[in-house]
Amino acid sequence: MRGVFTLTHSSKKRKSLEKNTGAGYLFLAPALVFYSLFFIYPVIFSFVVSTKRWNMLVPLSRARNVGFSEYSYLLKDQMFLGILGNTLLYALATVSSTIVIALILAALINNAKLSVLWRFIYFTPVVTPQVAIGTIWGYLYRPNNGLFNSILKIFGIKPVYWLTDANVALISIIITAVWAGIGGSMLIITAGLKNIPQDYYDAAKIDGAGPFRQFFYITVPLLSPTLLFLTATGFIGAWQVFDLPFTMGRNAPARSVMTVSWYVYETAFQSLRMGRASAGAFLLFCVIFGFTLIILWLFRRGGIKGYE
Amino acid sequence: MKKSLLLLVLVLCVFLSFSAFGKTKLIFAVHWSDYQVEGVKDENGNIVAKGLRQYVEEYQKLNPDVEIEIQSVPFDDYLKRILISHTSGVIADIYVLYSLWGVQLVDSGILDQVPKDIADKVKANFAKVAVDGATIDKAIWGIPVEVANYALVYNKKLLQEAGFNEPPKTWDELVAMAPKLTKRNPDGTVAQYGFAFLSGWDSAVVHPFLALLHSNGGKPFKDDFSESLLTSKEAVEALEAELKLFKNGATDPAASVWGFPSGKVAMMIMAPWYESALKLGFKDQYEQTVGVAPIPYLKKPATAGYTWFIAVDSASKNKKAAWDFIRWMTLENAGGFTRMGELMAKNIGSIPPSKSDLAFFKNELNDLYTSVFVKELDNTYQEPNVAQGQEIKTILMREIIEAWNGRKSAEKALSDAKKEIDKILAEFYK
């Protein structure tokens, strides 16, 4: 009897589900159409272009098919590999420095007086356009009367050619990017800090833990999902960086500061090699995808699942 | 009453739309700035120097069936505008094009063939360097509207302070003079450059090198473009000549030609269009301060140049109307001169390439700044019209900057450039 009831019940449920499937797809349709139109279609189009020799001046159908030769060209090209290296260095340095500094600052100002004011001050660069930041920092980095060389001069240190010395230019841009990115990360970390119950700190204090122990044993572990989010999104953004190196690095030897997005832009719109540019963009997509998976895996191995 | 008003409005709408549809519409894409399009006006709004719009309005009055829309796009976005318009199918009918882009546009079938009468007039009536600029595979693809070349621009006062009454004539003289014009701060940074290049802009890097290369008796490519000649003795010596200025402390990669109007650069290699910026920078001190001379030579006087030419899109639905307007604007005698020549000489401040305009606008072209550039037209070598010209120029720029920064020797930089450039040439010419 029970079996019959279960059978009837499950068949009814299935029928009801089948009946509602159409409605479900209907509700999903706007998002699916949007996603297909603005993400899936461009990705497929870009992949198709990457297998062609196309300059955008003739219809794509007339472009010569070159298979994967643009990919193999890029993977053998010393310049592109150097540019990948620049971008990797930029991503590693900016993301790690930004998160560490933002974490320390957020912990310091979390319970400080006028914390709202501090947050506002640190957040200001985030709402400033990157091109404006690049231009202003360009003035600070000027070799003759720039702020940084004036400070070095006080200490009797030789002036540095911040943006034209090939060995220094990328580091100078990284410093600017870190400064510009701290505010956003700090705000997210502060939100994470607010979610940590005060009881844990009180208990730790009773057990004799000092501020450093509290920071490393309570704050950092409980902020891990937030840090995972910042690391993943930070790397995705850093790999795609364009504005700051393009604005600040134009007077430096290009190989020393050029990033993949800059290379893709130049290859597409100056060299008119859409196929090679698309192949570069696709390789960048693969690198970002792989990097994000590695980050998620590393955090998961550490027992953090907050970003799933 | 209401009904008749409605009817009237309807009739008007129909009439207006028919009159608009009846017109031949041309889109004219230019890279010129606001005052060059709209005209130079005094404080009361009166036109002092006509801009493109005034000429277009004049033409529209003479040809009421033609409507011309001017689309002004900044130079940096101009090529992108052409590319995107062809992808989207919304093209301009008429373009003013940088000669370096010509080969690719012609190879892709973007440009309409120039009517024979126009091509003949271009060959007969325009400066040779400009004709070279508009010539691709021995055919004329447009009418040159602007020709630009390079000269040595120097600060007379700074030279006099250092005891020099004349600018250098040879490159060796320049190399000897420049360090004496360089002043340093106590911390070792440069307060005043004896000579300045500009790192961040391909033309500012490549064109002076090309000028020296020609001056040294060399050329950048074989005539059939099958190979670059950048490892030739002449090319290496030309780059080494530039590097002497870096080695003797007269300049460094941080130097910039944009520092000239503030009096921080004594000498630079510059084009004619920089005149107005210099006048703005030096104001009433302009004439006492700015001097222009031919580029100091290695073996023979030579300079590099480039051309802008006007052309019609092959996909235009109104090609005849477009060429008719171009004829009127660039070739028709408007009283001893062409209208385009007048626009160039009186408003834009560039050198008009038509021989009749060069003769007619002597007053405008004979000032202390432009006159040297005009005289140097005979010594000007047009930037080569080679396939992937922009890509090749960027590669050459990067390698020259590597050498400026001491990261490569002249020989190594040019050899690396040659390797990359020859790969491109092999794609298109073999």
Q: How confident is the model over B243-278, as pLDDT tens digits?
A: 999 999 999 988 999 999 999 999 999 999 898 889
Is some CB atom of chain B closer than 8 A to the CB atom of A255?
yes
Could you tell me which of A130, A131, A107 has the C-alpha nearest to residue A119? A107
**Chain A: residue nearest B192 by CA?**
A144
Distance of alpha carbon A211 from alpha carbon A205, whole angstroms: 9
Q: What angle do CA A284, A286, A290 make, to 5 degrees?
A: 120
CB B424, CB B391: distance < 8 Å: yes
B176-186: string of b/e by CB count within 10 Å (b at 16+)?
ebbbebbeeee
- Minimum distance, in Å, between the CA of residue B82 and any CA atom of chain A: 8
CB neighbourhood size of B49 (10 A): 18
CB B153 within 8 A of CB B290: yes
pLDDT for the residue numbered A154: 87
B187/A158 touch (CB, cutoff 8 Å), yes or no: yes
Q: B292: helix, coil or strand?
A: strand
Question: pTM value?
Answer: 0.85
Residues present in chain B in total: 430
A56: in domain: no
Bridge-based pairing state of the strands B94-98 and B24-30: parallel
Cβ neighbours for B173, distance < 8 A, ≥ 6 positions apart: B296
A11 vs B93, more confident: B93
CA distance A234 to A231: 5
For chain B, say whether A149 makes contact (Cβ under 8 Å): yes
Q: What is the ipTM of this complex?
A: 0.81
Q: Which two tokens stand for residue B193?
A: 């450059």
How many residue pairs from chains A and B have C-beta atoms closer than 8 A?
81
Which residues are within 8 A (CB) of B386 and not within 5 positions of it... i.e. 6 or more apart? B103, B221, B225, B392, B425
A157 contacts chain B (CB < 8 A):
no
B101, B389 contact by CB (below 8 A): yes
A30 belongs to a structural domain: no
d(CA B78, CA B38): 19
User: A1 is written with which tokens?
Assistant: 């009897």
The mean per-residue pLDDT over the stretch A71-78 comes to: 95
User: Is the separation of the CB atoms in B298 and B212 below 8 Å?
Assistant: yes
Residue pLDDT, tens place only, B154-203: 999 999 999 999 999 999 999 999 999 999 988 778 899 999 999 878 99
Sign of CA dihedral B111, B112, B113, B117: negative
**What's the domain count of chain A?**
1
> For residues B328 and B59, is the Cβ–Cβ distance under 8 A?
yes
pLDDT at B354: 96
Name A307's bridge partners: none
Of A25-39, A198-212, B13-27, B136-150, which gets the smallest average pLDDT? B13-27
**What are the two backbone dihedrals, phi and then psi, of residue A192, each rounded to the nearest 5 degrees?**
-65, -40
Per-residue pLDDT, A304: 57
Q: Which domain holds residue A195?
A: 70-301
Asked if B35 contacts B347 with a C-beta cutoff of 8 angstroms, the reply is yes
* N-to-C CA span, chain B: 77
Strand partners, B380: B303
**Interface check B190 vs A, CB under 8 A:** yes
C-beta separation of B53 from B32 below 8 A: no
Mean pLDDT, residues B219-243 taken together: 97
pLDDT digits (tens, 9 = 90+) for A191-228: 999 889 999 999 999 999 998 999 999 999 999 889 98
Measured in angstroms, the CA of A32 and the nearest CA of chain B are apart by 25
Residue A34 counted as domain residue: no
Residue A28 lies in a domain: no
Q: Within 13 Å of residue A292, how many CA atoms lie on the same side as its CB?
A: 18
Indicate the burial class of A207 (C-beta count within 10 angstroms; 0-12, 13-18, 19 or more): exposed
What Cα–Cα distance (Å) separates residue B231 from each residue in B219, B234, B397? 11, 8, 15
| Span A253-267, pLDDT tens digits | 867 899 999 999 999
The verdict on residue A123 lying in a domain is yes
If we measure between CA atoms, which residue out of A209, A201, A235 comes closest to residue A110? Answer: A201
Query: Which is nearest to A237 in space by CA: A254, A261, A257?
Result: A261
**Tell me, what amino acid is at B104?**
Q
Contact call for A166 and B405, based on CB within 8 A: yes
Residue A1 is predicted with a pLDDT of 47
Q: Which two tokens stand for residue B412?
A: 């190594």
The residue length of chain A stands at 308
User: Would you say residue A3 lies in a domain?
Assistant: no
Specify if A240 maps to a domain: yes
Residue A270 belongs to domain with CATH number:
1.10.3720.10
Percentage of chain A exceeding pLDDT 70: 93
Decide if A121 is inside a domain: yes
pLDDT tier at A308, thresholds 50, 70, 90: very low
Q: With 80 as the cut, is the pLDDT of residue A70 above it?
A: yes
